[in-house]
Every structure is written in structure tokens, then in C-alpha cells.
Structure 1
Amino acid sequence: YGARTVFRSAIVIFTLGSILCGLSTSLADFVLYRIIQGMGGAMMVPVGRLVILRSIPKADLVTALAWLTVPALIGPVLGPPLGGFITTYFDWRLIFFINVPIGILGVILATRFIENVREVDVPPLDLKGLVLSGLGLAGVVFGFAVMGEEMVPLWVAGAVTAIGVVALAFYVAHARRTPHAVLDLGLLKLPTFRAGVVGASIFRVGIGALPFLLPLMLQISFGLSPLASGLLTFASSAGALIMKTTAAPIIRRFGFRRILVVNSLLSAAFIAVNALFTPETPHLVISVVLLIGGFFRSLEFTALNAIAYADVEQADMSRATSFASVAQQISISMGVAVAGLVLEVMRGMRGSETLILSDFTPAFLIVAAISALSVFSFLRLPKDAGAEMAGRKRPDHNDTLPDPRGEVQPNP
């Protein structure tokens, strides 16, 4: 249908979901409308990224992808204080109605600036793969999310998770014998794409939990208002926004592999530091920690978003962006689910119905440890991974050729 058509449709669906969320009268309605809103948002990300990947030379992609995420960072920068202000002094429904004029403006700008680029050869829709992967991913995420919650029995959560795992196993078998699978597992043979998907997913499981845990701790355990909590968490997004202007030079100077390895550990460390906060911790100290942590996490995200496409051919870009976007959304959801599960386990062990500050300590430490595990994926990258994209010269491997005896001979 073309990039412009799909992108505009995604904005319309997201805006419609926002209106319905603002008009919802029950929790069930709200959850349903949030699903609709999420569908629209999920459609926007891969299309926007695909337009950039197909129109920008690889040497400029790091800078382009960094700037692509700047609008997405403005929301987290303005969202917490603005949302806290609206919730504290007005009605929470206004948070969703704000998206209406933004959505209308987005449709106008997409019509004006995005070309309706279409695929030349469109493969048939992998309907079986779509059903299996959708059922599997939804089952695993939902199962983890409700495990330990009182809304469903434990055996139901376990059964849903098991169904999801089985469906994913069937999908893997299906994808291996299907030339145009909805999620092309063959792309994982590329070391850079594998690091940008598998390693990034592990990293994002930990990072995805932070926006869930931090406001919850500040409001429940510290007793802060939504506005005060939003003003504190604003620092993290501000640090991420500052980083975008320096990401490309940093990656060019140190290379993808070194950045991903060192920065993943630094980012995990700054998540763990949140476990040390108490109501007596000065707000200035909390803001500085969140600012620096946001800087490092944003640098990691920029590198991961770029390295995934370093060795992907143009013909495979569409499938690669879809695969990476699905993995990103699922890993962030898993992060929230894992954090929620840890909190519920800690609360249950105390036999209490309310959360206290000590419940958050293991939650922060566990998600930080999960993020740190991503380093093993990044260590497997070659030292010159993504050199062309980073603007670094690759070693010239054509100066010598191995001979059958294992000795190196000059290249004629």
C-alpha cells in the first residue's frame, strides 16, 4: 500500500485509540482501547525507520537514526511533567485528548513530505506465520505479565505462557521452511543484525522496566505527587536528548563494538543505582543520576538501532525493520512484566496488599542484571562491526590471500 498510506493510517489508528481511551468508562474498555492505540503506534515505527534506511547512505545512518528518535524523546521529556500536571490539577483523560491535534498535524506532514514508496515485488502474506508468531508472542508476554497477579489463577498464567512457547516453537519450524516468513529468522545469521535484535532485546528487557518502576516507587514509597514524580523522571529523558547531538562522533571515535560492550555495563549500573534511593535522598542527586543514566542508555539505543542494519541488503530492509520493531516492543513489554512479577513476589512474601520501598530494591537489581547480560552478545561482534556505518575505515583484508598450506601469500 505504500509507506505514506501505511504511515498515515497508523497515525489515524493511534489518534482514534487515544480518543477512545479518553472516553473509556471501565478498565476493560480502557485496556481494549489501549490495544488499538498500541497497534497504531507499532505501525508507525518500522515505516518511519524504513523510509530513512532506504533514502540515507550508510555512512550517514547513525546521525540520521539519532535524529529520527529525537521527536520520540521530546514526548518523554515533556510527558512526565505535563502528564503529572494534568493528572494533579485537571483530569487524566486530557492526557489522551492531547494526541488529537498532534495526530492531525502528523497526517498533514506525512502527506506533504513522505513519498508513497511501494515494494516492487510483494511476497504473499505469511498468514500461518502471522497467527503462530502473534499467538506465541502475546501468550508469553501476557503470561509473564499476569503471573503473580490476583486477576487470574497461577495455573492460567502458566498455561497461557506454555501455549505461547509452543506456538513460537511451531513458528520457528514453519519459518525455516517458508521462503517469505513474516519474521525472517535467516536475518539472524548476520552478526550485526543478531546483536541489534537478540542483544538489544536482552538489554531492553531491563531498560523497559525503568519507566514502570521509577514513577511507581516515587509516588507509592516516596509519597510524591504525579507532578513531582514527573519532574524528577524528566531528567532521564533530558539526558537522552542531550546525547543525540554527540552520538555519531562518539561511535565514530570508539566503534560500535566497544561502545556496546562498555556502555551496556554502564547503563545497567545506573539502573542498579536506583535501588539505593530513599525518601531522604536529595532530589538533586536523583536528578543527576537519572540524567547521566539517560545519556548512557540513549547512546546504547542509538548504536543498537544502527548496527542492526549495518549488513542488511536493501531488498531485506523491510523485513529487517519489521523483525527489529517486533523484538523491540516485545522486549520492553517483557521488562515491565518481569518488574511487575518481582514486585508481586516480594509483596506476596510479606503477606501484604501494599508495596513498600524494600520491594523495589530487588526489582531494580534484577532488571539491571538482565540488561548487563546483553554484553555477552556484543562481545561476539567483530572489532570492525559496522565500520562503514560508523565512518571508520575497515581493515583491508584483500592485501593478502591464504594459500592451501595455511601460509599468507601477497595478493596478486
Structure 2
Amino acid sequence: MLPLLSGSPEISMNKERLIPLIVATALFMENMDSTVIATSLPAIAADIGSSPLTLKLAITSYLLALAVFIPASGWTADRFGPRTVFSVAVAVFIMGSIGCALSSSVTDFVIARIVQGLGGAMMTPVGRLVLLRSIDKSALVNAMAWVTVPALIGPVIGPPLGGFITTYLTWHWIFLINIPIGLLGIFMALRYIDPIRVENPERFDLYGLVLAGIGLGGIAFGLSVAGLNLLPWPVVIALVAIGCISMTLYVIHARRTASPVLDFALLRLPTMRASIIGGFMFRLGIGSLPFLLPLLMQVGFGLSPLRSGLVTFASAVGAMGMKTLAARIIRTFGFRNVMTINAVVSSIFLAACALFTVATPLLLIMILLVVGGFFRSLQFTAINTLAYAEVEPDLMSRATTLVSVNQQLAVSAGVAVGAASVELTMWFHHVSELNASLFAPAFMVVAVISTLSAYFFYEMPADAGHQVSGRGVVVVSPPERDAEPEETAATETANARDQRLG
């Protein structure tokens, strides 16, 4: 083992700071890359002799690779070790990036994006697993705050960065900048992450992986294509239907195997259930924002991609301001109170986007996005941390896989719901071209869906997540046991702990 396993406070503190940053760097690279390409599609298509519509296959193929390979990430990490798999995943992502930069045809580009998706599918859940197995639960909220930031910054910084690179450099640099970032991430991971490994990994569930891959791929790909208007609606519905049937077969199969690739039994834990169900609804609403807002700014208000990106980047500023306060807020008020109220507050700021018009001052829009970004980031930090509060260490790999799949489906569903809302509004008003007034109903729809997530957070026990929030339970000794205060306190503390853990 590395010297980092030493128990000195200085080394422990370094781990709490360095490991979240290492994981966050890789996640930032992936989140940014998945959105930066959208702005540069016309330039890439012109250079390789294709159309932007055809090249949208590069986006959907990446999402498909994520959906198919994420279920295998937990077992792979247990079999070969999280540090090794994380480092290899970053290397695969770099190889895919180089392949994208060297592509001279649509086929080359799509294959390279699939390779990137394979790396990203392992990078995200295994990165979280590295974090969970390296950081004590008492420091998890602070660590998750750092890891949450790139997930929020990536989608908003991607479009303006893509516009800048395409305008002033060449589109190839969109992918080439991943090389130094990824190499630094690999070096830091090998240097500072402990080589933790499971002694007896479970048997690999190949049949379950096939069913889950087809199911998740069909659902995620179908929803993503619906958002891009790439295929006719009957084909989209067929893809989603096939995915749902395959996932139903997988659920039946999972009940009969001891080592499922997606362990839905974890939903029996109240905190995991709230994080998955409530988190899905919240992410679905918020996940549509990076899709709807740039369209409103560019198509509705006529802003340039670069100027639009600078406006929407305001939400990232709010997200960064949250990271130092999240742990204190959750420790003071508790997960249930914070997540229930904050789900409503965040949704109100999302609904406020429906009020934006051409006459709305950009400064006011940016202020609302900054404040809304703060509350959204707080909610994501709480959701990401709460999911693992009650999970036993030997089930962490299954938990990270389930959470990652849930997040991927939520984002795909958010884009699909946002796009469908805009199209229905166009159909209702009998118009064929986008304008600013068509986006307001879409923002209201996704805001309502996000608000409904508050119910699932409110249903949690009052002390949910106290294992990681640091919000302790104060126990007062009964008067008749005053003769044995130490024994009484110890017994009642143990009882309280047992009640919290179920």
C-alpha cells in the first residue's frame, strides 16, 4: 500500500482535499466534453464532409455507450481495483479524444465517440467509488460538494468554450485539450489514491448485463434521439418500448441472482430510495436547463453562441459559491429539511426562466441564474451524498453503479421532456419556427416535475443521513438511571444508532 494510508492528520486532510479534486477533474472533463461538441458540430461536419444532422449521431452514440457500459462498472472496479479501473478509464477517454481529433469521416468520428463513452462509463461511477472508499463518511458532504461542481459547470461552460475554440482555433482542440488534463488525472490517481481491492469479487452477471444494456440503451438512446429530432417518433417510441421490455426482464432476472449488475434491493434503504426516485425527478427538471436555456438565448433572443454561453455560465458561479457552505447548511438543518425545502426553492428559480423575454435585462437574468445555481448545487450535493449514507462498504460498488445509471437516464429524460414540451407548444400554436414565447411552457413543465421531488424527500425519516451530515442525536439520561450515567449514555447512543440504521 501507498504511504498515504498513514493515519496522520495531515495526510488524512490531504486525502480529503486531493482525492475529490482528482475525481472532479475527470468528471469535469467528461461533462464538459459531452456538451462542448454541440456548438462545434457545424464546423466538424463541414470539415469531414457531412451534415450537422447526421453528425448528431456522435452525440447519441456517446450516450448509448454510457448507458450500455455503466452497469459493468461496479463489478469491474471490484475485480481489478477502483484505482486501476479509474486510471484506465481516463486513458481510454483520452484515446477516444485523440480518435475524434483525427477523424476524417462520420464513421471514424462515431467510433471514436463510442470509445470515449466506454471510458466515461467507467470513469464516472468508479470515480465516485474511489471517493467513497477513500474518504470517511463524516467528510463525505464536503467531498461531494467538490465533485458536484464539475457536473454543473461542464454543461454551461461547454457551449461558450466550444464556440471560442471553433472560432479562434480549430475544432480539433476541443478533443486535444483532454490529453494534458487526462494525463494529469492519471498521474495524480496513481500517486495519491490507495490501491484498494476486493478480495473475493462476485461472479459476473453477463446475462443481466445484456438485458440491462439493451434496456438502458434503448431508453436512454430513444429519449436522447427524441430530444435531437433525429429519428421519426414511431422509431423513438419503439426504441423506448424495447428498452422498457428488456428492463422488465432484467428486474425479473435480478430477483433470482445473488450478484445483479444493477441491485434494486438497495432501494429498500430509505435514503437510497429518496435519492434515486426524488433525485431522478429533480434531475429530470434541472437536466433540461442546459438544453432549453441556450436555445432560448440564441434562437429566441438572437444572442451569439459565445454571448449566450457567458450568460448561462452565471449558474456555474452560484454552484462554485455553494461548495464551502453545503456541509454547514446540511449539518445545521438536516438532509430532510434542506432537500424538501430546497427542491421547491430550486424549482421556483427554474420556473422563473419562463418569465424571461427579449426585454428582460441580461443582468437580471444572470443574477437569477447565479442564485438559482447556488440552490441547485446544494441540492445535487445533498442528493449525491445521501445516496450512500446507509450503504455498507461491501455494497458501495453496486450503489455507485445504480446511482450513475439513474443520473444518466434522468438527464436524457430531461432533454426529451424539454424538447417535447417545446414541440407541443409549437403544434398548439400552429407555428413552424422557434421563438422566445414557445419556451415558457417547457420551463413550467420541468419546474413542476422538479417540485414533485420534494414529496419523496419529505417522506424520509427525520434523522435521515445523520451518518454523513454530522447532525448528531442528543440523548438525555432518565432520572432513575443517574447512578450509572456513563452506562446509560452508551446504551442509549447505541440504541439510537441501531434505530437510524434500521
| CA shift in 2, pair 1:36/1:208, >3 Å | farther
| CA shift in 2, pair 1:328/1:71, >3 Å | closer
Match of 2:173 among 94, 101, 122: 94
1:56-67 to 2 correspondence within 5 Å? 56-67=135-146
Matched, 1:309 2:388: yes
Moved more, 76-85 or 298-307: 76-85
Which residue of 1 is the match for residue 318 of structure 2? 239
1:73-222 to 2 correspondence within 5 Å? 75=154, 78-147=157-226, 151-222=230-301
Match of 2:127 among 41, 48, 52: 48
AA at the equivalent of 2:224: A
Residue pair 1:88, 1:226 contacting (<8 A) in 2 also: no
Which residue of 1 is the match for residue 303 of structure 2? 224
CA positional deviation for 1:52: 2.0
Task: String of CA shifts for 1:335-380, please: whole Å, max 9, x gaps.
Answer: 1122122233333455555322122112111111111111111111
| CA shift in 2, pair 1:148/1:12, >3 Å | closer
Residue pair 1:235, 1:287 contacting (<8 A) in 2 also: yes
CA positional deviation for 1:39: 2.7
Task: String of CA shifts for 1:61-100, please: whole Å, max 9, x gaps.
Answer: 1112222334555645754543332234333332222112
Instruction: Indicate the structure with greater helix content.
Output: 2
Residue pair 2:148, 2:377 contacting (<8 A) in 1 also: no
Task: String of CA shifts for 1:25-72, please: whole Å, max 9, x gaps.
Answer: 555654543333233223112222212212222222111222233455
1:212-361 to 2 correspondence within 5 Å? 212-350=291-429, 352-361=431-440
Matches of 1:29 and 1:213, distance apart in 2: 30
Task: String of CA shifts for 1:240-299, please: whole Å, max 9, x gaps.
Answer: 011001000000111000011000111111111111111221111011011011000000
Which residue of 2 is the match for residue 20 of structure 1? 99
Which residue of 1 is the match for residue 460 of structure 2? 381
Matches of 1:146 and 1:82, distance apart in 2: 24
Matches of 1:148 and 1:246, distance apart in 2: 35
Q: Which runs of 5+ in 2 are unaligned?
A: 1-79, 479-490, 496-502
Residue pair 1:84, 1:228 contacting (<8 A) in 2 also: no
Q: Which runs of 5+ in 1 are unaligned?
A: 400-409
The alignment's TM-score, normalised by the length of structure 2, stands at 0.75
| CA shift in 2, pair 1:395/1:329, >3 Å | farther
Matches of 2:322 and 2:117, distance apart in 1: 27
Match of 1:11 among 90, 95, 106: 90
The runs of 4+ residues in structure 1 deviating greater than 6 Å are: none
Residue pair 2:134, 2:194 contacting (<8 A) in 1 also: no
Matches of 1:105 and 1:148, distance apart in 2: 35
Matches of 1:397 and 1:49, distance apart in 2: 38
Matches of 1:38 and 1:105, distance apart in 2: 20
Residue pair 2:315, 2:373 contacting (<8 A) in 1 also: yes
| CA shift in 2, pair 1:158/1:397, >3 Å | farther
AA at the equivalent of 2:134: S
CA positional deviation for 1:158: 1.8
The alignment's TM-score, normalised by the length of structure 1, stands at 0.91
| CA shift in 2, pair 1:236/1:381, >3 Å | same
SS at 2:438's partner residue? helix
1:357-376 to 2 correspondence within 5 Å? 357-376=436-455
Matches of 2:232 and 2:294, distance apart in 1: 28
Residue pair 2:153, 2:313 contacting (<8 A) in 1 also: no
Matches of 1:132 and 1:39, distance apart in 2: 18
Matches of 1:198 and 1:87, distance apart in 2: 39
SS at 2:313's partner residue? helix
CA positional deviation for 1:101: 1.6
SS at 1:42's partner residue? helix
SS at 2:439's partner residue? helix
CA positional deviation for 1:210: 0.6
Residue pair 2:156, 2:309 contacting (<8 A) in 1 also: no
| CA shift in 2, pair 1:379/1:72, >3 Å | closer
Residue pair 1:129, 1:171 contacting (<8 A) in 2 also: yes
Residue pair 1:80, 1:231 contacting (<8 A) in 2 also: no
Residue pair 2:211, 2:246 contacting (<8 A) in 1 also: yes
Q: Tell me the matched-pair count.
A: 403
> Share of identical aligned residues, percent?
54
| CA shift in 2, pair 1:106/1:61, >3 Å | same
